[in-house]
Amino acid sequence: MHDAVFRNANLATMRQGSPYGSIEDGVIAITQNRISWVGPRVEWSGKAREEHDLRGAWITPGLIDCHTHLVYAGNRAHEFELRLKGATYEEIARAGGGILSTVKATRTASEDELFDLAQRRVRQWAREGATAIEIKSGYGLDRDTELKMLRVARRLSGLKVKTTFLGAHALPEEYQGRADEYIDLVCDEVLPEAKKQGLVDAVDAFCERIAFTPEQTRRVFDKAKALGLPVKLHADQLSDLGGAALAAEHRALSADHMEFSNEEGIGLMKGAGTAAVLLPGAFYFLKEKQLPPIDLLRRHGVPIALATDHNPGSSPLSSPLLVLNMACTLFRLTPEEALAGMTRNAARALGLQASHGTLETGKQADLAVWQIGAPAELAYAIGANPCAGVMRSGAFRREVP
């Protein structure tokens, strides 16, 4: 006997093998927060305590946003104005604006203020069918504020949250000219403490001309490894520093951005099981010209995930559905590749592939219900929201908060 069954639904299971892994006129059953049966109606003969008629709606795995910087205070609308007058993201960062201006605001904000801001943001993801989100620290750049950000991320409700420690995001003002000493602080103090307090699921770094060198990144990754934490990397966003290969060398869960990544690195990623996370929101908002190497990723069979990269500087984007559209219009992904990017492959980029990202027996019952006629509509529409509800861990909410 199953706990609940959803009938009269079309299922985009996102299993590989057929387009969207779709099952029209399908049935999905849930027992103890897990999918206990999924398949076509004609094969269903089970019984359930609760029955729901979905009247032809589509069900997909809940969307997963695998790269965000969602906890912060303040905003950077003023820098947007400067960029519209011709300043570049790099110039603003070098002049002490950029990430460091958000660091000031985030250090000053109380933990409860940060929590209220983040909790309000998170609701928008749930409204658009997301059930899981990754959130990075990296606007503290000192021990107490990094820990504060991670605690806030852990307190959020409504979505499953995976936290990533991004202490190596930028060099704080008080360490100017002493980047190696700052990396000492990250490796010897902040990261071990965050790990000890149970606040970290993975470790990320920003390897870039305006951030940290490959050597400094390596030190952070070695420390993460010693602590038993998986790594990810902001790789090759503005220039090719060999980020893709560096990520692969450390068997990273993902290499993210990747606009300037080279083929050798991409080949290594395939062997290491490292996913690519593409971030069309940042590409759009910074008016980047260099497209990520989509064809190379396809050719080498590297799983492509997508995310909002929500942050106040390079991607103030709060819409997972718009990411699907942008991935198709800007990066020429197919709508199916885009949906896989925010379900199956996003789960991989977070190390959640055993429990999330597809509709399969045994996986967590995290799903989204959509009033659409075909799954391609999710990537096609701009600014529409056909989400009729989400289910997380088996609890269905028609009225998403």
Contacting residues toward ligand NIG, per CB under 6 A: 69, 98-99, 102, 206, 234, 237, 282, 309, 311-315
The closest of 355, 375, 351 to 364, measured between CA atoms, is 355
Burial class, 284, CB count within 10 angstroms (exposed 0-12 / middle 13-18 / buried 19+): middle
Give bridge partners of residue 234 from the DSSP assignment.
206, 256
Q: Which range binds Fe ion by CB under 5 A, 117-125, 215-223, 309-317, 382-390?
A: 309-317
Residue at shortest CB range from ligand NIG = 313
CB of 354 to Fe ion, least distance (A): 25
Nearer to ligand NIG, 311 or 318 (CB): 311
User: Taking CB within 5 to 8 Å according to partner kind, which of ligand NIG, Fe ion, none is near residue 60?
Assistant: none
Nearer to Fe ion, 236 or 309 (CB): 309
Q: For the beta carbon of residue 47, count every other beta carbon within 10 angstroms.
A: 10
Is the CB of residue 71 less than 8 Å from the CB of residue 114? yes
Is the CB of residue 337 less than 8 Å from the CB of residue 297? no
How far apart, in Å, are the Cα atoms of 260 and each of 160, 238, 265, 288, 325? Answer: 31, 7, 11, 11, 22
CB of 343 to Fe ion, least distance (A): 20
Nearer to Fe ion, 60 or 308 (CB): 308
Give bridge partners of residue 12 from the DSSP assignment.
22
CB of 259 to ligand NIG, least distance (A): 11
Using CB under 5 A, pick the residue from 65, 204, 309, 336 that binds Fe ion: 309
In the range 181-220, which residues lie near Fe ion by CB under 5 A?
none
List, as one string, the DSSP characters of 159-209. Answer: SEEEEEEEEETS--GGGTT-HHHHHHHIIIIIHHHHHHTT--SEEEEEEST
Nearer to Fe ion, 70 or 248 (CB): 70
- Ramachandran area for residue 33 (φ above 0: left; ψ -120 to 50: alpha; else beta): left
CB of 136 to Fe ion, least distance (A): 7
CB of 281 to Fe ion, least distance (A): 10
Nearer to ligand NIG, 60 or 311 (CB): 311
User: Taking CB within 5 to 8 Å according to partner kind, which of Fe ion, ligand NIG, none is near residue 99?
Assistant: ligand NIG
State residue 111 phi and psi, 5-degree precision. Answer: -60, -40
User: Taking CB within 5 to 8 Å according to partner kind, which of ligand NIG, Fe ion, none is near residue 117?
Assistant: none
Nearer to ligand NIG, 170 or 388 (CB): 170
User: Taking CB within 5 to 8 Å according to partner kind, which of Fe ion, ligand NIG, none is near residue 148?
Assistant: none
DSSP letter for 334, please. Answer: -
Nearer to ligand NIG, 71 or 376 (CB): 71
Which residues sit at the interface with Fe ion, rule CB under 5 A?
309
